[in-house]
Chain A
Amino acid sequence: QITLKESGPTLVKPTQTLTLTCSFSGFSFSTSGVAVGWIRQPPGQALEWLALIYWDDDERYSPSLKSRLSLFKDTSKNQVVLTMTNMDPVDTATYYCVKGIRAFTIWGQGTMVTVS
């Protein structure tokens, strides 16, 4: 069974850096074709794709947020870490961790982050 779970702070102050961890099980970055990404959803709003990291260390970012985002994958721990710098109240959202290169077949439960 494949699962993903997000963890991190629920509240951050403006200008601070957000660090979220996606811990997963049931698959590994040692396998070709694996990718883990992040998607967010402000309260009552639509989904927004943020970033994706592949088994081969390739990374893709939303151009509008690229200067603020970075991804790190820890293959030994089955984790992906997302950092977002210079947080602003408009970044308040539920952040989801997802598995997949294109179609996201598995989603984490999401973690709500408030910037205030």
Chain B
Amino acid sequence: DIVMTQSPLSLPVTPGEPASISCRSNQSLLHSNGYNYLEWYLQKPGQSPQLLIFLGSDRASGVPDRFRGRGSGTHFTLEISRVEAEDFAVYYCMQSLKTPYTFGQGTKLDI
């Protein structure tokens, strides 16, 4: 199985400030077709997760442009340019290159 490791697991942030979450895999997620099969999900308290970023850097429909996915191969980052109150939640990375798809441990963004 591909192991996904997120850091930090907890990230204190002040509203209006930027935030960055790291996600590393123990195998490259770069497919021969040139795409990185890495997704980012956001889970707000009491809610189902929702897709933020797919293919490493493509924003899902309706996702604000303050969210940016970067990286390739084995190291990826999710950047939030200016954190807003609604962004305080848990963020997960997931690899979809090979089954079983695997998630990181989650990063809690809090004040």
Contact = CB atoms under 8 A, between A and B. Distances in A.
Given A52-B99, A103-B60, A47 B39 contact: no
A102 B103 contact: no
Interface in B83-111: 92, 94, 96, 99-106
B interface majority secondary structure = loop
Contacts, number: 55
B54 interface: yes
A43 to B, nearest CB: 12
Query: What size tier do the contact residues of chain B reach?
Result: 20 to 34
Contact of B51 (A64, A103, A108, A109): A103
Interface in B23-79: 37, 39, 41, 48-51, 54-55, 60-61
Nearest to B60: A105
A109 B102 CA distance: 21
Interface residues of A, number: 20
7 contacts: A47-B41, A48-B103, A49-B101, A60-B100, A102-B96, A104-B41, A104-B51
